[in-house]
C-alpha cells in the first residue's frame, strides 16, 4: 500500500464528492461491501474482527458510487498509478448528503513509523486541498479508543465566508489485525453526529 492509496478513500469525502452516492436500501446488502456480512442492522467484518450496528432507517451506500468517487479523487490529485484493487470496502451508510459514515481497510505490513507517515500525508493533503479551494478548515488531531483499539483522529470543521461552520468531518485510522482501517464520519448537526459517532464507539473489536 502506498501513500496515495491510503489517502484516496478519505479524499473522496473530504472534497465533497459524495453526491448521489446512495440509493434505495437493498435487502442484499452484501453486494455493497467487499468484505463482511450483514445480519439485520448489524455488520461484521471477519477480517478486522469488527462488529457495528447501523440505523435501520438510513441508506446503505452503494459500492459502485464509492468506486466512482475514488476514480474522481485520483483525477483531482493527478494519480495515474495507484492500484485500488487492494482496498476492501466495508460498512458505509448515510442519512443524506451531509451526514454519513464510510469504512474500508487494506493489508498493511509497515512499521509504526510508516503508519504515522501515511497519517501525516493524509491530513496534509486534505487540508491543502481545502486551502486551494479557499475553504478555511479548523483542524484538531487526537486519539479515540474503541473497544480496546486506539484510533488516530483528525477532525475538520469547514467554515463559510462568514466564518460559520457548515460541516464537519472526522477521520479515524488504526492498524487492526495487520490491516490499515479507515473510517470517515461527516455531519452538519449535533444530533446526527452523536448518532453516528455513538454507534461507532459502541462497535466491538475482537
Domain of 197, in residue numbers: 3-205
Angle at 57 between CA 189 and CA 196, to 5 degrees: 40
Between residues 123 and 83, which one has the greater pLDDT? 123
Between residues 187 and 14, which one has the greater pLDDT? 187
pTM over 0.85: no
- Assign residue 68 the CATH number of its domain: 3.40.1000.10
Query: Which pairs with CB-CB distance under 8 Å and at least 24 residues apart come from 140-144?
Result: 144/172, 144/201
- pLDDT of 170 over the 60 cut: yes
Total structural domains in the chain?
1
The radius of gyration of the chain from alpha carbons, rounded to an integer in Å, stands at 16
The pLDDT tens digits of the residues spanning 84-102 come to: 678 999 999 999 989 999 9
- Tallying the residues shown for the chain, one arrives at 206
Tracing cell 435501520 back to the chain, one arrives at: 56
The pLDDT tens digits of the residues spanning 180-193 come to: 999 999 999 999 99
Amino acid at each position: 500500500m502506498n501513500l496515495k492509496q491510503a489517502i484516496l478513500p478519505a479524499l473522496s469525502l473530504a472534497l465533497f464528492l459524495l453526491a448521489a452516492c446512495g440509493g434505495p436500501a437493498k435487502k442484499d446488502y452484501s453486494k455493497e461491501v467487499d468484505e463482511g456480512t450483514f445480519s439485520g442492522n448489524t455488520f461484521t467484518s471477519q477480517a478486522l474482527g469488527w462488529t457495528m450496528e447501523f440505523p435501520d432507517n438510513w441508506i446503505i451506500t452503494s459500492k459502485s458510487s464509492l468506486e466512482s468517487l475514488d476514480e474522481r479523487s485520483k483525477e483531482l490529485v493527478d494519480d495515474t498509478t495507484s492500484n485500488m484493487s487492494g482496498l476492501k470496502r466495508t460498512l458505509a451508510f448515510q442519512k443524506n448528503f451531509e451526514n454519513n459514515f464510510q469504512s474500508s481497510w487494506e493489508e498493511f505490513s509497515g512499521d509504526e513509523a510508516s503508519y504515522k507517515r501515511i497519517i501525516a500525508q493524509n491530513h496534509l493533503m486534505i487540508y491543502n486541498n481545502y486551502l486551494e479551494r479557499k475553504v478555511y478548515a479548523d483542524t484538531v488531531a487526537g486519539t479515540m479508543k474503541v473497544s480496546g483499539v486506539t484510533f488516530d483522529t483528525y477532525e475538520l470543521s469547514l467554515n463559510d465566508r462568514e466564518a460559520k461552520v457548515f460541516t464537519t468531518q472526522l477521520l479515524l485510522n488504526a492498524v487492526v489485525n495487520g490491516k490499515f482501517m479507515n473510517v470517515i464520519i461527516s455531519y452538519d448537526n449535533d444530533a446526527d453526529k452523536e448518532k453516528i459517532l455513538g454507534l461507532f464507539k459502541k462497535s466491538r473489536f475482537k
